[in-house]
Structure 1
């Protein structure tokens, strides 16, 4: 048996039923919930994030929900710090941290640590934005390719957020993002070789999703339609009325919010907004599946099975989480 305390990761694509299973687990296990979702951290963004209701959160509290304002940013490093603190607090009370959500980068950051990259630099970022306005993003992508071809190969020229960050890291630190990540990988390997994990827990990795991808697509479309019926557009109208939010912020770039914002700007009709919101959510699910396929020691559950709780408990017993 491992001397490390237990923790559970409950992962999966959007609209797969993660929250429902997590709540069922807390009813029979001494678990406390930690949200692993880059959109649920924002206050006043409830409908478009499919945030659990206030009544549900009152009965089954989730840490790391509603912790920052939409005008603020929240990085994977911020999540790792907050999650480790929450996990330690839960463990100290004799309970099991149950981390539930679909932001796979957060899980990876928690499990493996993060490269020690420089923080954002407002001056450098402004310079890059001015260059992009003058020369175009393709020219900046060519700059990145000349200094960091590995990053350039995985970052599309039409992805200004990631392109800006990669160039910012190079200009601020003198090292490329690839070099920083190679150092982090080496540090993780050294930690594994020495027996000192980056995450001091015995982790059981669960994932839930419909075995039939078409079922997930139907769920995504249905959920987006329900969001609109619940007042998603009005929610974004309220965010716009603040006057301090804009499409360049991570909160407004969140899936669904970006499409509704464009609709309110007159760039999309209502029907186009709905269609593009559904397509963007499907693309998110596809990216989540890509992450999950590379995750080791992952036990899959089918969202449509009626006995997922018993299946999950059986698996947790086999990996000594319940010992």
Structure 2
């Protein structure tokens, strides 16, 4: 009687997909583009603000020259009055990933919106749709109370979500308040339920996490570059539309600050300084989210702790080919 042979591990037949993630100004767009050229990929946006056509400059969307080097999808596809969400983006992203695969191309998702990446890879918790009237009532309450008092009221109604959220994050406070009002259950309880189906892909995530001082410098330099490339004109055109202040596009970094300059409330120097500080804070929050919610190391992860440059390409490409593209 022959001894049993050990079973070979089951081969993962799911199609491959690559995610390039990192905080703002980490170099992820440049890396994603280089990867798309080298690996016959399609770059699919995974950044909430780059979805909006009104924010080409302030969201640092790829320019026409970059877009001519490889296919880019989901950049500038939403009108300013539309409210982006992880669920909306996930559906659009899965469509574009399937299209890329049908064309024989590798889907390469690129962005710093950790919630979007987590929703794609793991699936979404089954949170019900909130009626428009409830959302509008919550927005009215936020306007009446202001951020700090609204946060205090939310904490009293829903201690768990109040503890999770900051008073400086009105969008998520509104979401938590609206879900509680509409369903009688905390958003935390809904999120604790099992997620829906994960995306049917074999993912590898490349995480760019440069040193903090390098990232701070890059954030400051990039906002100055935005000013040189039309950020003031972009904000002026946006404000001229008289859009509701609670829309995501109106909360983009630079809109409030440059709007204050255009309205005469701040000097351009002060507006720039405030926007740069807000950018640095945002990059820090992104890094924290990626570290705690997405993960930086382990199977299916490649962590780069330096600012991306062409000197890293061979190491990165070799690792991706070995880990993701070799069957």
TM-score normalised over the length of structure 1: 0.89
Deviation of 1:224 after TM superposition, in Å, equals 0.7
- Tell me which of 11, 27, 34 is aligned to 1:24: 34
Which ranges in structure 2 are unaligned for 5 or more consecutive residues? Answer: 1-10
Aligned residues of 1:147 and 1:176 also touching (Cα < 8 A): no
Say which SS state the counterpart of residue 242 (structure 1) adopts. Answer: coil
Q: Identify the residue that residue 3 of structure 2 maps to in structure 1.
A: none
Matched, 1:48 2:48: no
Q: CA deviation at 1:128?
A: 2.9
**Distance in 2 between residues matched to 1:25 and 1:138, nearest whole Å:** 44
Structure 1 position 90 matched with structure 2 position 100: yes
- CA deviation vs aligned residue, 1:286-319 (integer Å, no higher than 9, x gap): 0111122233332112225543211112211332
CA distance in 2, matches of 1:305, 1:56: 16
| Counterpart pick for 2:246 among 238, 245, 248 | 248
Contact 2:57-2:234 within 8 A present in 1 as well: yes
| Residue 154 of structure 2: aligned partner | 144
> Closer, same or farther in 2 for the Cα pair 1:24/1:136, shift >3 Å?
closer
1:192 matched residue in structure 2: none
Give secondary structure in 1 for the equivalent of 2:55.
coil
SS of alignment partner, residue 251 of structure 2: coil
Task: State the shift of 1:181 in Å.
Answer: 0.4
- Quote the offset at 1:145 in angstroms: 2.6
Deviation digits for residues 119-152 of structure 1 (CA, Å, limit 9, x no counterpart): 3433223333444455555554344334421101
- Aligned partners of 1:21 and 1:308 also within 8 Å: no
Q: Deviations over 1:261-289 (max 9, x none)?
A: 23323333211110111011111110111
CA distance in 2, matches of 1:68, 1:305: 31
Q: Deviations over 1:148-206 (max 9, x none)?
A: 211010223354332222111011112210110011xx346xxxxxxxx6121111110
Per-residue deviation, 1:48:
1.2
Q: 1:310 is matched with which residue?
A: 314
For the residues of structure 2 that align with 1:170 and 1:9, how far apart are their CA atoms? Answer: 33
- In structure 2, C-alpha distance between the alignment counterparts of 1:121 and 1:252, rounded to whole Å: 22
Measure the CA separation in 1 of the matches of 2:108 and 2:311: 19
Whole-Å Cα distance in 2 between the matches of residues 256 and 133 of structure 1? 21
Measure the CA separation in 2 of the matches of 1:284 and 1:133. Answer: 23
**How many residues matched?**
311
Residues 89/130 of structure 1: CA separation in 2 closer, same or farther (3 Å cut): closer
Q: Is the 8 A contact 1:7 1:321 kept in 2?
A: no
| Aligned counterparts of 2:205 and 2:213: Cα–Cα separation in 1 | 24
Rounded to whole Å, the distance in 2 between the matches of 1:242 and 1:270 is 22
- SS in structure 2 at match of 1:207: strand
Who is 2:303 aligned against?
Answer: 300
Report SS of the residue matched to 1:33. Answer: strand
Tell me which residue corresponds to 2:73.
63
**Structure 2 CA distance for aligned equivalents of residues 89 and 266 of structure 1:** 48
Segments of 5+ residues of structure 1 without an aligned counterpart are: 189-196
Alignment of 1:181-200 (within 5 A): 181-183=191-193, 186-187=194-195, 198-200=198-200
Separation (CA, whole Å) in 2 of partners of 1:230 and 1:139: 38
C-alpha distance in 1 between matches for 2:145 and 2:282: 30
2:274 maps to: 276
SS at match of 1:67: coil
Query: Hey, what does 1:162 align to over in structure 2?
Result: 172
Shift, 1:116, TM fit? 2.0
Instruction: Specify which of 261, 265, 276 is matched with residue 259 of structure 2.
Output: 261
Does the Cα contact within 8 Å between 2:126 and 2:195 map onto a contact in 1?
no
| Range that drifts further, 16-25 or 295-304 | 295-304
